[in-house]
Amino acid sequence: MVRTFLKTGLKSGLLLCTALSAAHAQPFLEGTEEDEEETAIRGGSWFASTNVTATDNYRRLPNVLARFDVDGTTGDITATEVGIEPIENVVISSTIKGSTFVRSKSLTGFITGTVRVGGYAQSTDDNAELIANTMPAAPYPNMPNADGSFSTFGLAEPDDFFIIPDIVGAATKELSEGRWYLDMSALAQERTLGRPSLINRRGSTPGLDTVTFVGGSLSPYLYREYADQQVLEVRTRASAIFVANERTALGDEVPGVADFADDDQFANNSLSGELSADYKTGGQFDDASYGVSGYIRHVAEEGSDILPHLYVTEISGRVDAAYMLSSPLKLLAAVGFDDITVNFNDADEAGERRFEEDVNGAFWNVGFRYSPTRKALFELVAGQRYGGPSVEGKVQVQLSPRISFNASAERVFDTGGQRFGRALSGLQSRTRTILTTLTEAKDNFAAEFLDDVVDLSLLGDGLDEEFRSGTFVFNQVSASLTAELRRNTIGGGVAYTNAGAGDIDNEAFNLSVFARRKLSRKLSIHASARYGESEGIGVVTDLFGTPIGTGNRESADQMYRAGVDYRLAERISLTSEVYYAKNDSDGPAATRGPGFDFDETAIIFGLRWAF
């Protein structure tokens, strides 16, 4: 155990040092007279930490799990749900976390997120330990006896060494002054398969049944401004989201236990190409302005050996009008049409989601935009689109340099994979706002605050990952408030997401709050709480992992954290934290596999270096 502990710690430290040597460390905000014209804002806050985590359920196993008893004489396999005792372990990990933002004459961009590496101090045979402590007792030992009979839970052994990426970036580069531009984005992120992501993103260890996505987009475009504020934009965009790695809970120890082997792929890759054009009349018509836009996109989501492949072609056009009643108030209206074709191959009951007749046709909306100051914007439009009522809007209020409120509502048609990747554009605008509010925050606590705030932008991420396979009409409403005061930092957010597809209706609600207080120049305390609910149709499997149809599932997860930070030096701090997470799921018994119903308590000690 000691040798494994040292080996894991050495691996984590070496990888962390390698990453740090490649990072460009810079203070939160910098700029000189020489580069003032070139760089208007350059900021960021990063820190590295090494943590030791003691957890009472390192694999987040439920209290009830399917055990497989194999009769060596007949070859029969009996599956029985039995009570288990979750497995304890110690996790050693290193993390790099933070954000960097640059805005210059020709480049605006950001990178934000976390990369975590680590391993386990104790190497255990999880199946053997669980078999020894099941109720009722297993009829056979974990290893085959004389006639070849044995009992197992079929769990795949965890990797000795894990890497959890959760990092995104986006930038706009001016290629030709006032004419040609290039938008770029990239991401690497681990997600869960078939269960809510909220706990997995903030848990002590990698979850069961996870997939790592990598991808990005390139979008060259022409943007011209003419007399009277007329604007023409012609844009192309290509995006790709690929499956880089998958980690499954069930191994192939028992034939028939796992629905797919290690060389099979569960999730789909997602590829998209699009072309759009947009013209706005600007101030040509005094108090009235108009806009005309068109859009065509093709999406292909394929590569899975389990899920159906998906192909979507979307054509849309619209005309917008705005009339200025007064300087801060405008009336808004729009009309347009959507023509969407959805095709599946190898579609089964879980993937049969052809509902283009519901989302096609004309649409309209009316509303207003009110902007009394440069730091306040209120916009709301309501109408009809994608076969139902549509309400969209946004509120952006900078109450002070350190207090901001944001809210938004939208109704969009998209695929699950593309919705995941296209979230980058919203994150970019939020990151700009966040970093602007932190201009004067130059101490070690800026990174922690930024981490909390960026997490708020992911509140709508509570939908089960299974819901991401297919096409949906997404309705989402979210709001967040952040405030950095002299000694206190507080914030919170709430989000509701509905993803509909014909007869399938999935929804999620998430609430998050956090607070941090400086007790002295060296000591601070913090706490956070998160609660999420999701309900909808998921794929139902039998106890052997074989899909047998669909069924309704309700899940509720909650997570609480509280900790203390003590500054040893200007940029070095000791940290300690207590963490508790719980997930409950109601629905067909076969959908409650590993990780659906569990609770975990962990204690974390660490050393953090801000740079």
Locate tokens 């979210």: which residue?
A: 478
Running DSSP on this structure, what letter comes out for residue 589? G
Find the mean pLDDT for residues 278-293.
Answer: 91
Is pLDDT above 50 for 591? no
At 322 the pLDDT is 95
Supply the range of the domain harboring residue 543: 486-610
Task: Give yes or no for a contact between 331 and 323, defined as CB atoms under 8 angstroms apart.
Answer: yes
Is pLDDT above 70 for 132? yes
80 within a domain of the structure (yes/no): no
Q: pLDDT (tens digit, 9 = 90+) per residue, 338-393? A: 998 888 774 443 344 444 457 888 999 999 999 999 889 999 999 999 888 999 99
- The full 3-state SS of 171-201, as one line of letters, equals EEEEEECCCEEEEEEEEEEEEECCCCCHHHH
Domain end among 127, 158, 177: 127
510 within a domain of the structure (yes/no): yes
What is the total count of domains within the chain?
Answer: 2
Sheet with 64-70, strands from edge to edge, namely 77-83, 64-70, 150-152
Share of the chain above pLDDT 70, in %: 71
Domain end among 127, 158, 189: 127
591 within a domain of the structure (yes/no): yes
412 within a domain of the structure (yes/no): no
Q: Confidence class of residue 427 from pLDDT cuts 50, 70 and 90?
A: very low
Q: Which residue has the higher pLDDT, 466 or 164?
A: 164
Q: Whole-angstrom Cα distance, residue 41 to residue 36? A: 9
583 within a domain of the structure (yes/no): yes
Q: pLDDT (tens digit, 9 = 90+) per residue, 202-242? A: 556 666 667 788 888 888 999 998 888 899 999 998 988 88
At 202 the pLDDT is 52
561 within a domain of the structure (yes/no): yes
Q: Whole-angstrom Cα distance, residue 356 to residue 76? A: 46
At 258 the pLDDT is 46
At 431 the pLDDT is 37
At 552 the pLDDT is 65
Is pLDDT above 80 for 31? no
Q: Confidence class of residue 414 from pLDDT cuts 50, 70 and 90?
A: confident
Q: Whole-angstrom Cα distance, residue 49 to residue 95? A: 5
517 within a domain of the structure (yes/no): yes
Domain end among 127, 156, 188: 127
Q: Confidence class of residue 325 from pLDDT cuts 50, 70 and 90?
A: very high
Task: Give yes or no for a contact between 134 and 107, defined as CB atoms under 8 angstroms apart.
Answer: no
- The candidate with the shortest Cα–Cα distance to 599, out of 53, 58, 52, 51, is 58
SS3 (DSSP) at 450:
helix
Q: Confidence class of residue 315 from pLDDT cuts 50, 70 and 90?
A: very high
Q: Whole-angstrom Cα distance, residue 55 to residue 447? A: 25
Is pLDDT above 70 for 181? yes
Burial environment of residue 521 by CB neighbours within 10 A (0 to 12, 13 to 18, 19 or more): exposed
Q: Confidence class of residue 192 from pLDDT cuts 50, 70 and 90?
A: low
At 475 the pLDDT is 85
- The candidate with the shortest Cα–Cα distance to 493, out of 440, 532, 448, is 532
At 341 the pLDDT is 86
Pick from 39-43, 53-57, 126-130, 567-571: least confident:
39-43
Is pLDDT above 60 for 283? yes
For the chain, give the mean pLDDT. Answer: 75
What is the per-residue DSSP string for 23-70? S----SEE--STTTTTEEEEEEEEEEEEEEEEES-TT---SEEEEEEE
491 within a domain of the structure (yes/no): yes
Secondary structure E strands in 448-546? 471-484, 488-501, 504-518, 523-541
Is pLDDT above 50 for 312? yes
Is pLDDT above 70 for 284? yes
Share of the chain above pLDDT 90, in %: 23
- The candidate with the shortest Cα–Cα distance to 154, out of 255, 82, 57, 62, is 255
